[in-house]
Amino acid sequence: ADVTVAMSVGVDRATVPDPPASESNEDDDDPTNAHGRTREDVSNIVALDGVVGNTLRAALLDAVTHADWPHATADAPPTPKWERETNDGISSGGGGGGGGGDTASDQRQLDAGASGMQQLKVAPNSWGLGEEALEEVGRSAPVRTFLARLGALYPEYHVRTMPADALEPDGIPGAMSSDRDGGNSRVATVVANAAVYGDDFQWHLDMDPASLDPTSPFAERYGQYVNRSAGRPLFVSALVYLNGPQPWTPGLDAETLFLDPGTGTGVFVRPAPGRVLLMDQDVLHRVSTPSRAAGVPRYSLVLKLCFYPKEGGAGEAGVGGG
């Protein structure tokens, strides 16, 4: 099927430091911006139809639930594979742990001065897959197929799941969440969500390479940098809506919402069977809860990716410029 762009939009426009990718790590981390270079930056959101057809959508939904699960009638996902222990609140510290939400608990404490928002409170727990189930889903054939299709869409990049352990302080699995709240959950590269009526989701970021701990192996190699910096890995979340094949009508709600903090405006994307949503991971976003009329969870699967520019290929355009 042909791939069509349902939406392509940029948010959070700003002038940001632009150190050359060849500079040393010490220069990259210099808060005084001694090199003096800047660039105009914007975070990208793209909604695509036609990447995931009904056969792959159904296979992905079966992978996160069960092949015989009554997706069209069950008011909750199957337990014990799914646990109502996912936290979609904003945690203190750097960017990203394990969990659900649309990209649920891999988020960081928002800077109130930068966003104009007060500190966000922790929301009640929502449905998410357990760690073992997530690892199994990540290895599944449907997910490998989905990842391969994303790679074919952006041939100027090597599209890979982000190197989770390399993002942790000192490369220690679970160290990022331990620094925040005493937990020890690892950074998740695959997240599944089953939003139900009555859930409460919070605004969050998925990951921000500028906020990584400087001791993380990733930061030691690439520095701390603004996402979309030329010559450096681009952090992208790829979400696919899994309910179907019947349309997800407007009255069922559960849109994904995006905020432009500087203007106090935003956009939303409505679920559609197999629709793919690509967003730079530093975009502020959240799930909206399904309506009571939905009667079933709104299922989604998210891959946390790094787009590595091929030599002589992409610059800082991001998913909106591929």
pLDDT in tens, 84-120: 876 653 332 334 444 444 543 333 334 333 333 334 4
Strand partners, 313: none
239 pLDDT higher than 90: yes
User: Is residue 229 packed enough to be buried (19+ CB in 10 Å), middle (13-18) or exposed (0-12)?
Assistant: buried
Predicted local distance difference test score (pLDDT) of residue 106:
37
End-to-end CA distance of the chain: 19
| Residue 295 reports pLDDT greater than 80 | yes
Say yes or no to pLDDT of 201 above 50.
Answer: yes
Mean pLDDT of 299-304: 98
- The closest of 75, 285, 308 to 209, measured between CA atoms, is 308
Q: State the DSSP H helix or E strand holding residue 112, giving kind and residue range, or none if neither.
A: helix 112-115
Confidence of residue 82 (pLDDT cuts 50, 70, 90): very high
pTM value is: 0.84
Q: List the domain boundaries for the chain.
A: 4-321
Confidence of residue 242 (pLDDT cuts 50, 70, 90): very high
Would you call 179 helix, strand, or coil by DSSP? helix
Does residue 184 surpass a pLDDT of 80? no
- Of the given ranges (12-21, 249-258, 296-305), which has the lowest mean pLDDT? 12-21
- Alpha-carbon distance of 289 to 160, in angstroms, equals 30
For residue 317, the model assigns a pLDDT of 57
The one-character DSSP state at 65 is: S
CATH, domain range 4-321: 2.60.120.620
